[in-house]
Structure 1
Amino acid sequence: MDYRDEFIVAARYGLESGTARQLSRRYQKGELVRVRKGIYINKETWLALKPWQRYAATARAVAAENPTAEFCFETAALFWGLQVVGVPSHVHLATTSRGHAGSRGPRTSAAAVGPSGTTGLERVRGYGIYRHSYSAATVSHLGLQLTDLLPTAVDVLARGSFTKGIVLADHAISKSRFPKLFTSKAALGEATQGLGSEAKRQRVNYVLRFADKNSGSAGESLSRAQMHLLGFPSPELQCEFHDAMGFVARTDFFWRDQGLIGEFDGDAKYLQDEYLAGRSAREVVLAEKRREDRLRALGFAVVRWDWTTANDPAKLAAKLFAAGLAPLKNTAMRTIHQRLRG
């Protein structure tokens, strides 16, 4: 795939039209966004993209500007389809030259137009470039040169927090959620031998020991990692419940001793067509209520939370406390958490 077709490339435009001046005029009129030097895109198209999409498009613009660019770390993970929490601030590139390593700020820009002097990009985040002194073999995937899947995964695990690492690791080993490229804990463990230090290997292996292929979504993985670090007892995942009428539910979390069911509610369940299955959002909410009523009728308590709560340890702890769940005593997780984040 030639990602230059996604953009208006000044060099090619000049060859085809005889001059690139029209691009400069359109840029000055506020019609185009300059993503990278000589790489343009229609402003309306750019503004319509979500942050992750703009990040990916910025990386593709880098490839259009420099076809030999080799992507690594979170950028490579994105193009492999691995789940990464949050949008990185930089596009990550590998370079064998120490002199070229380092970060550069965003170069995405638009011309100021109209009496207000605004560009339209004031509230739109741009993404810089971070070149890492990193010698690694790359493979072609989706028309880009990326570090291979396993090295990419362990590189990201070695760099990030425990919670973000669990999200990625759970996804990487899940056949149901990552069907074409899923891997195993053992394969990821072997890939840690390519890391530069024993400390990094230990860091990744700690994440892998906790990773679980049964986690149903990124939000569930994040929640479970937060519970672990907060010292709450480990829940059972994806338990099935039945009543006299038959199947009731497969739940996200279940604390058997406490008779407590935990459910993570992502927005996708209520907003995306693939999850609505032809139903309205109201119908989905009513179905969830009936499902929860049947679980409560079986004698279980049910606690629910969303992304905002999962991202905030204090809010999640308060939610679980209120539901009657107490942390284990003498947990070592807080100490481990501090070390992993350092």
Structure 2
Amino acid sequence: MVMELVDPDGILLRRDVISAGYDDKALRRQVVGGALRRIRHGAYCLASLWECSTQERRHLLLVKAVCRQYDEDVAVSHASAVLWWGAPLVSVRPEAVHLTHLDGEAGRHQAGIVHHRGACLVNDVSRVADHWVTSPTRTALDSCLTLPRPSALCVLDWFLHEGLTTTDELRQRAIGMGRWPGSLPLMHLLALTDHRAESPGETLTRLLIHESNLPDPVSQLDITGTDGRWLARADFAWPNKMALLEFDGLRKLTSDLRDGETALDAVVREKRREDRLREAGWLVIRITWDDVVRHPARTIERIRAFLAMADARPVAG
């Protein structure tokens, strides 16, 4: 049967079907019957897998199909490599698969594929799951050249936070890319990175504050009480103002849940945590993804007013 040729990733190529002695009619029967879905020319995917996959997962299925159709002289790169490594793509929806040709050739134009030509050093590529993929360092730098600035910074912070690259590695490799198109602001963007950022929301918040000429806060500051007891780790803090900013994302109510804890339990825990901070003399402001992404100007004014209020407080003692 045709279905026995489906690979472990749920991908089936027409060329394999023909090589096995079947014909296009056999493929068409599986598509009409709902078992397979055509995802690009000459490539099919299990329909059940495709239907239940997120947009990011569908893109990776496309990437794996394309990789199987190509020889060994290409590497998954740019936005496709960002998703391959598991990094977040904020405000970007890649439609086409991105490939970099290791032989330096750009490759012929094909629908659904963006071909890149760029010099790849030995350390620029990694072998993952039988495919070549640009390394974390190279992938992060490529994102700086092709993605919007906020999206690229989220990618950089993620790779640094996960320990897949370092600031020194990024800067050293960026030197060799100094004459590439779009590379002029590369070093400036690297200077804005922070490996302590735990989510894209925190990265975007930090960038918003930085670009608004507000005082740069300290990230991930450990707060202790007057008795030296640890109280919390704040997303952002202005210690000289005794002011804290917390970014409220879904992560705190989902993936950060403790064993046996519900979302409501997490909300109550956060409330008690904030009460302890206020009792210790800290002012706290909270913002959300919607605040940062959809209402940046209004959010900056809120933060500006918040810091002014912190400055206006009577000095203790």
TM-score by length of 2: 0.81
**Cα pair distance change 1:305/1:63, threshold 3 Å:** same
Gaps of 5+ in 2: 1-5, 310-317
Name the counterpart of 1:125.
none
* CA distance in 2: counterparts of 1:241 and 1:229, whole angstroms: 26
Give matches, 1:57-136, under 5 Å. 57-68=61-72, 69-85=74-90, 86-95=92-101, 96-98=104-106, 100-101=108-109, 104=111, 128-136=112-120
**Cα pair distance change 1:318/1:4, threshold 3 Å:** farther
Give matches, 1:147-166, under 5 Å. 147-166=134-153
Q: Which moved more, 1:148-157 or 1:261-270?
A: 148-157
* CA distance in 1: counterparts of 2:44 and 2:308, whole angstroms: 54
**Cα pair distance change 1:49/1:322, threshold 3 Å:** farther
1:203: Cα distance to partner? Answer: 1.2
Aligned with 1:314 (options 272, 275, 297): 297
Name the counterpart of 1:144.
131
**Cα pair distance change 1:80/1:5, threshold 3 Å:** same
Preserved contact between residue 94 and residue 135 of structure 1 (Cα < 8 Å): no
**1:50-88 Cα shifts (integer Å, max 9, x gaps):** 111111111111112224342221222332344432332
**1:127-179 Cα shifts (integer Å, max 9, x gaps):** x32112334354422322122332222221233333223222222333xxx14
Q: Which moved more, 1:54-63 or 1:13-22?
A: 13-22
Name the counterpart of 2:25.
21
* CA distance in 1: counterparts of 2:308 and 2:20, whole angstroms: 67
* Aligned-pair identity (%): 26
Residue 5 (str. 1) matches residue 8 (str. 2)? yes
Once superposed, what is the RMSD of the aligned Cα atoms?
A: 2.8
Preserved contact between residue 79 and residue 94 of structure 2 (Cα < 8 Å): yes
Name the counterpart of 1:258.
241
Q: Secondary structure at the match of 1:197?
A: coil
Name the counterpart of 2:220.
238
One-letter amino acid of the structure 1 residue matched with residue 168 of structure 2? A
Preserved contact between residue 270 and residue 276 of structure 1 (Cα < 8 Å): no
Residue 297 (str. 1) matches residue 305 (str. 2)? no
* 4+ aligned runs moved over 6 Å, structure 1: none
1:261: Cα distance to partner? Answer: 0.8
* CA distance in 2: counterparts of 1:157 and 1:35, whole angstroms: 29
Name the counterpart of 2:314.
none
Preserved contact between residue 4 and residue 61 of structure 1 (Cα < 8 Å): no
Q: Which moved more, 1:278-287 or 1:76-85?
A: 76-85
One-letter amino acid of the structure 1 residue matched with residue 64 of structure 2? R
1:297: Cα distance to partner? Answer: 1.4
One-letter amino acid of the structure 2 residue matched with residue 88 of structure 1? P
* CA distance in 2: counterparts of 1:319 and 1:196, whole angstroms: 39
1:288: Cα distance to partner? Answer: 0.5
Q: Secondary structure at the match of 2:120?
A: coil
Residue 286 (str. 1) matches residue 273 (str. 2)? no
* CA distance in 2: counterparts of 1:217 and 1:325, whole angstroms: 27
* CA distance in 2: counterparts of 1:58 and 1:198, whole angstroms: 28
Preserved contact between residue 75 and residue 92 of structure 1 (Cα < 8 Å): yes
Q: Which moved more, 1:184-193 or 1:85-94?
A: 85-94
Point out which structure has higher relative CO (alpha carbons under 8 A, 6+ apart).
Answer: 1
Q: Secondary structure at the match of 1:279?
A: coil
TM-score by length of 1: 0.76
1:298: Cα distance to partner? Answer: 1.7
One-letter amino acid of the structure 2 residue matched with residue 92 of structure 1? H
* CA distance in 2: counterparts of 1:284 and 1:245, whole angstroms: 25
**1:98-144 Cα shifts (integer Å, max 9, x gaps):** 5625x73xxxxxxxxxxxxxxxxxxxxxxx32112334354422322
1:263: Cα distance to partner? Answer: 0.8
Q: Secondary structure at the match of 1:304?
A: strand
Name the counterpart of 1:124.
none
One-letter amino acid of the structure 2 residue matched with residue 259 of structure 1? M
Preserved contact between residue 265 and residue 304 of structure 1 (Cα < 8 Å): yes
Preserved contact between residue 155 and residue 195 of structure 1 (Cα < 8 Å): no
1:19: Cα distance to partner? Answer: 4.1
Q: Which moved more, 1:56-65 or 1:67-76?
A: 67-76
